[in-house]
Structures are given as C-alpha cells and as structure tokens.
Amino acid sequence: MCGLLGLVCPSENDAQAARAAVAGALRCQRHRGPDESGTWQGGAAVFGFNRLSIIDLERSHQPLHWGPPGAEQRYTILFNGEIYNYLELRAELTERYGARFATDGDTEAIVAAYHHLGPSMVGRLRGMFAFLIWDSERGVLFGARDPFGIKPLFYAAGPRGVAFSSEKKSLLELGPTLGITPGLDRTALQHYLVLQYVPEPETLHTSVRRIESGTSFTLAPGGALTTERYFPATFRPRPVPTEADANRLYREIADVLRDSVAKHMRADVTVGAFLSGGIDSTAIAALAKQHNPDLITFTTGFERPGYSEVDVAAETAAAIGVKHVVRTVSAQEMMESLPLIVWYLDDPVADPALVPLWFIAREARQHVKVVLSGEGSDELFGGYTIYREPLSLAPFEKVPGSLRKAMGRVSTRIPEGVRGKDLLRRGALTLEQRYYGNARIFRDDQLSQVLRTFNPHVSHMDVTAQPYRESSGWDPVTRMQHVDLFTWLRGDILVKADKMTMANSLELRVPFLDPEVFRVAAQIPSEQKLTRETTKYALRQALREIVPPHVLNRRKLGFPVPIRDWLKDEMHDWARGIVQQSQTDALLDKAGVLRLLEEHRSGVLDHSRRIWALLVFMLWHGIFVEQRIRPHVPEPLYPVKV
C-alpha cells in the first residue's frame, strides 16, 4: 500500500527537466507511504514513489526494475496495493517460463507476468492495485487498476505530458509542468450534490480524471491514452431448485471466503480488523483469527443512544475471542478534524461515516499496520434493504404508463414529509429513472433552490446509463447490484475506505472484493439474496458456523453518525459559520443553504444529509479553490502501543 506518481513526457529532455517537479509533488501524499520515498527518470518517463512496507520489508523497493536475463533493467514498475496470489503466480512463472526474482515480494510478480503473459495478465491478479510499468525497450507505458476500484488512480493530460497519481493533489501540484490549469467541473459538482460523491471517471477539477475500475491502459510519449475494460463484473444467477443445491451453494460461499481471508492475511507485519457489529466485519474477523490467534479488532462509536455499535461489537469480540479497541468520537472532534479530512479526500464525499472511520484508523495505526474490513459484501450478496423495493413497487408495474405519470404529478402536490409521498413518486418511475444507488441527497426540485449553476439537462441517468445497458434483461435486484458496483461502491464506499485509512498510513484490505468471491456471489439467484425477513440470505446461511448467533440475523448499522441531532445543537453555529465564510456565492445560493439549516434546526424537515453535503463542498472549495483554509497536515509518525 503506497502512493505512486508517474509522468510520461514528450521527450527525454522534458523528463529530465520534470524530475524535480515530480519529487516536489510527491511530498503531499507522503502519508500514503512514510517508510521510504524515491524518484527515477529513464527515457521519457519520470516515476516517484512513497512506500508503506508490508511485504518483503527489506527489499521490494520502488521504483522497481526487472527484466529477463540480459535485459534486467528493461521494465520499471510503480505499484500501489497488494497481490494476494503472488506466491502462486511467482511459482507458475518460474516453472513455466524460468522467471527469475531478486526479491520475495509481489511487485516483481506483476512485472514478470506482464513480460511473459502480456496485458492479459491483469485478469490473473487477485488483489487491490494500481500500477504503472514503463517498458524502456518499446518506450511504452502500461498500467491497470483493480477490478472493483479499491485503489485509486488519477490522471491528467497536458501539452507537456501525461501524469498518473494515487492522489489528485499531486496532479494539481504538477499542473504547471503539464501545461494545464484545472478549473471547477460544474457538471461533476451537480452529480456530487445528487449522489454525495463524484462519479468516475470525473473529479471536481477539469482536466483531472480517474482511470476507471477494472481498466487497463497503454500510453506512448506524444500519443493518446488507450484504455480497455478487462473486468465487466457480470452477474450470472443460476437456479437453486433443491435443498441439496442450496447447501452446496452455502458451502461454496463459505469455502471461497475462507480462501480469500487466508490470502488477505499474507503480510510481514501485524494484521488487525475493523469490527462494526454486523455480519460482514464479524465474519472477516472470525476467519482472520484462525490465522492470527492474537488478532486485534477496532470499532468506533458516539456517546448518544441509537448511534453506536460499541456494545454489540464488544460482545462479538468476546464471542470470537479477540482483543478489542474502542474509539469514541465527540461532536467537537468532528468539527475540528473535518477540514483536514476533506484535504485528505481530494474530492468531497458527503458520507458522514468517513469521519469516525478516520478516527478509528488513526487509533488502529498505533497497534497494527494492516486491517481487514467488510466492504463489498452488500453489493455482492444483496445486503441493502432498498433492494427489496422492486417487491414493494411491483403493483405499480401493472399500472398503464399514462396513469403512472399522472400519479407522479399528484405526488408533487403532496407536502414534504407526508407519508406516502415518496412511495407514490417512486412508483411512477421506471427502475432506470428511480434507482441510482444508495445515496439520494438532493432531488432536482430541491437542488435548483440552492445551486445557482443547476442544469436541468444533467441527470443521474448520465452516470447509470452504461450499467443499465450492460444489465438489460436481468432481474431488478441484480440490476441494482450491478449499478451499485459501478457507482456507490467505487464512488463512496471504497473512496472513504482508501482515503481515511491511508491518511493514517494504514493499509485496509477487503476480502469480500476478491474476483473468486465475486465469481461465486454472481451465481446467487435473487430469492437467495433477499427474503421478506432478511437480506443476504445465502451469505447468512453460509456463515452459520462462523459468526456468533447474536450477529447472524442482525441488521448492520455500520458507523452511524448523529449529524441529524448535532446540526440542531452542537454543530449549528459551526455550520452557519462555514456557510457565511464560504466564497461560493457564484455557485450556491447561500440564503437558501441557511434556510435549510434553520428549517432543520426547527424540526420542520430533516435536511441533515443535504446540509452535510453542502458543508463538505464549502470546506473543499475553501481548501482547493479559494486556498483560504489551510489544514495542518501532521507528519505520519506512529508510536506503536503493542
């Protein structure tokens, strides 16, 4: 787990001149890899790297050079992430091709596989990754990002080169070197205020984009970037007609999870686990303990009833026999830390859960260097309650289209907060119109009241169109899962997981998001995902012998944050101050924003998530556009308690 920065210039002379700029831009992502740092220039390429040492601590330095006998320096690689099947891959490359290795790490396995297998090797990797390989013989850059988008990879192209980075901040620093001046992307801003994240491949800066998940790419100096999606994430549900078939499916799920966790435990440092109290993190922790009897788990909570899983997590930790660490977060701490957290984010994410995640990651880093977590289970196994919506809205499907449209018009006349309004509105819409992920912050009618640059021609359907095209003919639940894989998961869940842990130089691993786990999960039919009583039915059945009974059928809260209450009380004046000081008048109607804040305080409507989204953007704007807010970024130093 590290931070990479690579630049391909039009010529070798340009690259030599840019090396100092790359070294400078690398510093703002030092938190991603505080163990060692270095730059390299060869031909038209300049590489920079910050390393967090996890595997083969004394070697596997980067940028790493590799090549076949007689051309040992042909390839240079930058690699952020972990390859969990690297031992098997190294053994295969040695046996079949006589590959030679100078280290015991996973980085060499990637570049050797590229040499012997070509670009298709990315389909052989089980792991989380973003990497760049410079082929000095051909003068070509090849790179890829992992299937689910666990590891980030930004890029920016200008007249003086194309740069790739683990953090957007580094590309903003390199703007003058590239010959670009990124501005604010107003379409991306509108998407953010609807979805609570900026969807791939966009960022909030023009000229800076992201390599999408499951994509590889090639670049030659002076040429265009060509991309290829190598992982389509196709669901193929199969019937489970008998009890014997169902039991076989449950065993297959349990076996593939055991294998995934075993491989995710490979490290030369201590591995811990996050424990929220739900079935996903509990399953990961229970399986991890089989490989580390001294496993430490971590959870966070708040001193407010209904907003904490601390007690359940502690009970779970005792049941599976692990040491447990708790970090409680106050409203004051959230207010004080939020500007720094937004700086780490690069782009705003309006998910309040990322704040306690940052705090528990900071606590965990004092004990371990790697943690396992349960992200991805809901998307793969059908864990969100909204996936039941097609069942509740099924009667609307029988209503003629003209009548459904009339029902939608009627819903607009019902006052906000009245029971049934949203059901009627959503029942009047098709699946493609109504479902765009788990977060729905602003509707268009609400957004037009606060966003001065509101464009009625910009729609969430611009973001979801491709996943819906790819899933045409699938059942509604599976289509919703597919949409979430390419929107919510990689836009919110994995961004906050990567950014908040790496802010604390902590590596987070997600065993559910493994190609082999997906292969099994993709075969589960809808009736094995959702029942009237529960979500993730097949997964729960598979985990009966793994997780404690009190967790098996419990609904997960995650890391809920009491902003609904705090924005009425402790955080009200703080929030008002952010709005008044923000220099976003050309973008937002600040009077409208303040009106939302007062309506929320008086209890007229719950605007907490909308207010939070606006506050996070205003802080982001103050940091990255106005440059009025300058958070103090601490040095990544971690005294270990154990």
Paired tokens of 408: 């939608």
HEC assignment per residue over 224-246: CCEEEECCCCCCCCCCCCCHHHH
- Separation of alpha carbons 53 and 507, rounded Å: 10
DSSP states along 181-201? ---B-HHHHHHHHHHSSPPTT
Q: Give 164's DSSP letter.
A: E
Q: Give yes or no for a cis peptide into 201 (omega within 30° of 0).
A: yes
* Burial of residue 99, with CB atoms counted within 10 A of its CB: 0-12 exposed, 13-18 middle, 19 or more buried: buried
Q: Which among 586, 560, 578 has a CA at the least distance from the CA of 620? A: 578
Instruction: Judge contact between 335 and 566, C-beta under 8 A.
Output: no
Which residue, among 149, 213, 263, has the nearest Cα to 496 in the 3D structure?
149
DSSP states along 113-148: HHHHH-GGGGGG--EEEEEEEEETTTTEEEEEE-TT
Would you state the structure tokens that stand for residue 245, as one six-digit string?
A: 């078939």
Is 175 part of any known ligand binding site? Answer: no
146/133 Cα distance (integer angstroms): 15
158: which strand partners?
161
Find the DSSP H helices in 376-427: 377-381, 389-392, 401-412, 421-427
Q: Is 28 among the residues known to form the active site?
A: no
Torsion-angle region of residue 577: left (phi > 0), alpha (psi -120 to 50) or beta? alpha
Distance CA 258, CA 241 (A): 26
d(CA 126, CA 518): 11
- The verdict on whether residue 374 carries a ligand-binding annotation is yes
* Tokens linked to 120: 């298709």
Is residue 572 helix, strand or coil?
A: helix
118 a known binding residue? Answer: no
Pairing status of strand 323-328 against strand 296-301: parallel
Catalytic residue among 2, 157, 163, 249: 2
Tell me the three state secondary structure of residue 400: coil
Side-chain half-sphere CA neighbours of 215 within 13 A: 17
Return the residue matching tokens 């998307």: 379
> Which residues fall in the annotated binding site for ATP?
373-374
Residues with catalytic function: 2
> Which residues fall in the annotated binding site for L-glutamine?
106
